[in-house]
């Protein structure tokens, strides 16, 4: 059984700048783990470790880019021994700039992991929303520094 948590946040920045900021931050994460990665494409993967909601110690995982649609969608999937986590940024034009829907779907291989997640999940959800809103604010602030999306949609230097 999967559990999806979602946060919707409207940014006062154009979709192109928001998308570029998301991709750049994810590329930095991938490069930090594999210096040979210079761009992200669907299928780009990296080995990593992460703290999950149900494990106390870091666990080995693989993060893979699963969807890229310029200025619209960026999605990754993390697979690890207990299951998978799909993280999605969906962007849509809004009167005020860009509506970003961030979602995280957790799926577990075993029922006992699902049960453990439900026990800690309600506490995690409280922190999740606060931390994701901070992350989305950082994306908005960083996108504001970019010139992408202004006038003709190209970067001005």
Answer whether 0.95 is exceeded by the pTM: no
Identify whether the C-beta of residue 64 lies closer than 8 Å to the C-beta of residue 75.
no
What residues contact 93, with CB distance under 8 A and at least 6 apart?
A: 15, 99
Identify which of 42, 39, 44, 149 has the alpha carbon closest to the alpha carbon of residue 91.
149
Ordered per-residue pLDDT tens for the chain, 157 residues: 677 889 999 999 999 999 999 999 999 999 999 999 999 999 999 999 987 665 667 899 999 999 999 999 999 999 998 889 999 999 999 998 999 999 998 887 866 555 555 555 566 666 777 889 999 999 999 999 986 655 434 433 3
| CATH match of 2-145 with 3.40.50.920 | no
- The whole-number pLDDT of residue 151 equals 45
Query: 3-state DSSP: the chain helix, strand, coil percent, rounded to 5?
Result: 35, 40, 30
Q: How far is CA 47 from CA 22, 36, 39, 40, 89, in A?
A: 20, 13, 16, 15, 21
Q: What are the residue boundaries of the structural domains of the chain, listed by start?
A: 2-145
């Amino acid at each position: 059984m999967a559990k999806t948590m979602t946060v919707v946040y409207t940014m006062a920045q154009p979709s192109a700048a928001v998308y570029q900021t998301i991709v750049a931050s994810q590329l930095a994460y991938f490069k930090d783990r594999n210096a040979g990665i210079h761009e992200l494409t669907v299928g780009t993967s990296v080995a990593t470790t992460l703290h999950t909601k149900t494990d106390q110690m870091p666990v080995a995982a693989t993060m893979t880019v699963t969807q890229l649609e310029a200025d619209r969608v960026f999605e990754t999937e993390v697979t690890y021994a207990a299951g998978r986590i799909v993280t999605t940024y969906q962007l849509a034009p809004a009167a005020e700039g860009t509506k970003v829907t961030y979602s995280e779907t957790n799926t577990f291989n075993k029922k006992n992991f699902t049960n453990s997640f439900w026990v800690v999940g309600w506490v995690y959800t409280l922190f999740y929303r606060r931390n994701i809103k901070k992350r989305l604010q950082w994306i908005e602030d960083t996108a504001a520094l970019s010139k992408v999306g202004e006038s003709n949609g190209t970067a001005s230097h």
